[in-house]
Every structure is written in structure tokens, then in C-alpha cells.
Amino acid sequence: MPSVSSRRPARDTRVLVTVNALPLAVGVLLSCSTSLGGVSVYGRLTLGMAWAFAQLVVLVAGTWWYESRAASSSEPASGTTAAARPAGGAW
């Protein structure tokens, strides 16, 4: 049975993909209708532009969250321990 710490990266990856896939799917649906994407939200800001900005914010925030979770992992990456490195300093 895999340990909890080995299942965490897979779960985090699924969360990151799901959180970013939902806005992408809505963006694709918005792009199918030019009249819907062109609806004015505020001044010259359209629904399509507002959604693209929201999607960018979700992508950056999700990537930051994923990176901070990966950095706080208690397990070192493979090949980073002294025992995993080859002796003699060979590259």
C-alpha cells in the first residue's frame, strides 16, 4: 500500500489539472459564440476578455499553490541525496 506522502503528489496534480481545466472548458464554450464573448461587462471590457484574465489568474494562483505544496514535501527529489550521487564528482 502506498504511503500517504507518495499519494499526495498525484492528488495535487489532479487538483491542479481540474482547477485549470474548468476555466479552460468555459473559455472554449465562450469562444464558440462570438456574440456572448463580446458582451460588454464594464466600459470596453468584454466578457471574453474578463474571462481570459480570470483564467490567467487561476492558472498563476494554481501553479503557485502547486509549487508551494511540492516545495514543502518532506521527501527529497530522486537523485538529490548524497547516497544517490555518484562518487568521484563525475557529471
pLDDT tens readout for residues 57-88: 988 998 888 888 877 765 555 555 666 666 66
Residue 63 falls inside a structural domain: yes
pLDDT reading at 1 higher than 80: no
Residue whose cell numbers read 468555459: 26
Residue 56 falls inside a structural domain: yes
Residue 25 falls inside a structural domain: yes
Residue 78 falls inside a structural domain: no
pLDDT of 89 = 60
Contact indicator for 51, 27 with CB cutoff of 8 Å: yes
Residue 87 falls inside a structural domain: no
Range of the domain at 42: 10-68
Q: Give every CB contact of residue 46 below 8 A, 6+ residues apart in sequence.
A: 37, 38, 39, 40
What's the pTM value of the predicted model, to 2 decimals?
A: 0.61
pLDDT of 33 = 80
Contact indicator for 34, 44 with CB cutoff of 8 Å: no
The total of structural domains in the chain comes to 1
